[in-house]
Amino acid sequence: MMEGSVAAPVDRPIAAEELGRVVEEVLAATPVIDIHTHLFAPEFGGFGLWGIDELLTYHYLEAELFRFSPIPPEQYFALDKTRQADLIWKTLFVENTPVSEAARGVVAVLSALGLDPRARTLSPIREFFQAQSLPAYLPRVLDLAGVSAVVMTNDPLDETETEWWNRGIQPDPRFHAALRLDRILNDWSAHCGRLAAKGYAVEADAGGSTLAEVRRFVTDWAVRMKPVYLAVSLPDTFRFPAADVRTKLLAGAILPACRDLKVPISLMIGVRRQVNPALRLAGDAAGKADLLALETLCREFPENRFLVSVLSRENQHELCVYARKFANLMPFGCWWFLNNPSIVEEITRERLEMLGASFIPQHSDARILEQVIYKWRNTRRTIGPLLAQSYRLLAQDGRAVTRDDVCRDVTRLFRANFERFTEG
């Protein structure tokens, strides 16, 4: 060794009793990329939601309100947002113990921001939020959540949202776009007229020049939004191939557009939309899907990349099996009704056992900015011990891990797998 130089610290195998702490430290120090949210960059003005009234009227909590309060949904939805939030606070947080995941999340957010989760009225809490200005508040929230970037959900057929894009806004670089295709792929008959009105020569039966024109529409919007992926949520009844317009559009327009644009498509499979329309956004449910469709897509479209989340617990194992067969398939997240510690634990353990660190464990699905605080805190709290347990077993089998190993795995899981999978 040269005189005066400092010896590099040896990256020693971590002792079994230290594993939990080291994994926790590495998780805390690794900012995540939140690969699916419904947040908006500040450039979208009031379109991005934040603050206590939005947190309380989150549709996950609205669904819970109707279990604890006799108020009929139509009466609740007729109230203004402040009254709705007051009612949810009183019902779920004062008159009942907020033990559900969504309710506990609000408590965690309030505590993280130094507010009193036992307050009987919302006035002091509202005062805090009214005093915040987004430019300073946003980095504070992202920092508390340990999030360095988020992916939005951007709908090229939402008139309010497209107005912003058409003004040429450049979103904050921490916010990436995802071009969402639900209206086109799930409800073509209701939306083909909209494309036609915008100058695209499309037809209701997807004949004529429809496929080329849908591809042109998507490409035009991709130029504006620069999405990191294209995305669609699909019902549990999704079949591919099928004798339907969706199959034509997917195979003949959307997947070719993804190849041209060199981006993956995100398929979120298994949602049963509006099983109870009276609950509005809270009225969707989950169903088990037939993943044969996914097998066909991965095999028949080897040049496409598929980011996939499935909503039913029953589909999770099959998804892991398919990920072992197809490198163009990247499982991600514990979506929506799965984002509860008991289920995240089960799914993540299964994925670690079957896929090592080659998947994306979680996304937040946050609709309201501050939700990233509790959703990511909970993810770290649930997944940390699972990773530590995998390393404990590995050590028992003869290969103890070092801190470098842990850093490499955590970086892959929460950042690099996504970066690599979305790389052109």
Please give the residue ranges that form the binding site for Zn ion (CB under 5 A).
Answer: 365
Buried b (16+ CB within 10 A) or exposed e, 27-58: beebbbbbbbbbbbbbebeebbbbbbbbbbbb
**Footprint of ligand RAT on residues 20-39 (CB under 6 A)?**
38
Alpha-carbon torsion (75, 78, 80, 81), positive or negative:
positive
Q: What is the radius of gyration, based on Cα positions, of the chain?
A: 23
The binding track of 249-268 with respect to ligand RAT, each residue x by CB under 6 A or -, is: -------------------x
> Among 335, 325, 322, 273, which residue's Cα sits nearest to residue 294?
322
**Footprint of ligand RAT on residues 43-72 (CB under 6 A)?**
none
Rounded to the nearest whole angstrom, what is the least distance from the CB of residue 365 to Zn ion in the complex?
4
Neighbours of 141 (CB within 10 A): 20
Q: How far apart are CA 165 and CA 220, in angstroms?
A: 12
Query: Token digits for 263?
Result: 């981006």
Residue 304's binding partner, choosing from Zn ion, ligand RAT, none, with beta-carbon cut-off 5 to 8 A by kind? none
Nearer to Zn ion, 34 or 365 (CB): 365
Nearer to Zn ion, 64 or 365 (CB): 365
> Among 320, 324, 321, 322, which residue's Cα sits nearest to residue 334?
320
Asked whether position 336 contacts ligand RAT by CB under 6 A, the answer is yes
> Would you give the end-to-end CA distance of the chain in angstroms?
43
Residue 110's binding partner, choosing from ligand RAT, Zn ion, none, with beta-carbon cut-off 5 to 8 A by kind? none
Q: How far apart are CA 327 and CA 298, in angstroms?
A: 9
Rounded to the nearest whole angstrom, what is the least distance from the CB of residue 215 to ligand RAT in the complex?
23
Rounded to the nearest whole angstrom, what is the least distance from the CB of residue 36 to Zn ion in the complex?
6
Residue 233's binding partner, choosing from ligand RAT, Zn ion, none, with beta-carbon cut-off 5 to 8 A by kind? ligand RAT
Q: How far apart are CA 56 and CA 81, in angstroms?
A: 9
Residue of minimal CB distance from Zn ion? 365
Rounded to the nearest whole angstrom, what is the least distance from the CB of residue 233 to Zn ion in the complex?
7
Q: How far apart are CA 258 and CA 328, in angstroms?
A: 13
Residue 103's binding partner, choosing from ligand RAT, Zn ion, none, with beta-carbon cut-off 5 to 8 A by kind? none
Rounded to the nearest whole angstrom, what is the least distance from the CB of residue 333 to ligand RAT in the complex?
9
Rounded to the nearest whole angstrom, what is the least distance from the CB of residue 282 to ligand RAT in the complex?
8
Question: Which positions ≥6 away from 43 have C-beta within 8 Å?
Answer: 164, 169, 170, 171, 172
Nearer to ligand RAT, 233 or 417 (CB): 233
Rounded to the nearest whole angstrom, what is the least distance from the CB of residue 210 to ligand RAT in the complex?
25
Residue 336's binding partner, choosing from Zn ion, ligand RAT, none, with beta-carbon cut-off 5 to 8 A by kind? ligand RAT
Nearer to ligand RAT, 38 or 226 (CB): 38
Please identify which residue in the block is written with the tokens 């430290």: 25
Nearer to Zn ion, 54 or 365 (CB): 365
Asked if 332 contacts 32 with a C-beta cutoff of 8 angstroms, the reply is no
Q: How far apart are CA 109 and CA 230, in angstroms?
A: 31
- Residue 3 backbone zone (phi > 0: left; psi -120 to 50: alpha; other: beta): beta
Q: What type of residue sits at position 35?
A: I
**Footprint of ligand RAT on residues 287-326 (CB under 6 A)?**
none
| Total number of residues that touch ligand RAT (CB under 6 A) | 7
Asked if 215 contacts 253 with a C-beta cutoff of 8 angstroms, the reply is yes
Nearer to ligand RAT, 38 or 349 (CB): 38
Nearer to ligand RAT, 154 or 210 (CB): 154
Rounded to the nearest whole angstrom, what is the least distance from the CB of residue 60 to ligand RAT in the complex?
7
Nearer to Zn ion, 210 or 315 (CB): 315
Sheet strands (E) in 136-200 = 147-151, 175-180
Rounded to the nearest whole angstrom, what is the least distance from the CB of residue 310 to Zn ion in the complex?
14
The residues that touch ligand RAT, with contacts defined as CB under 6 A, are 38, 233, 268, 281, 336, 365, 367
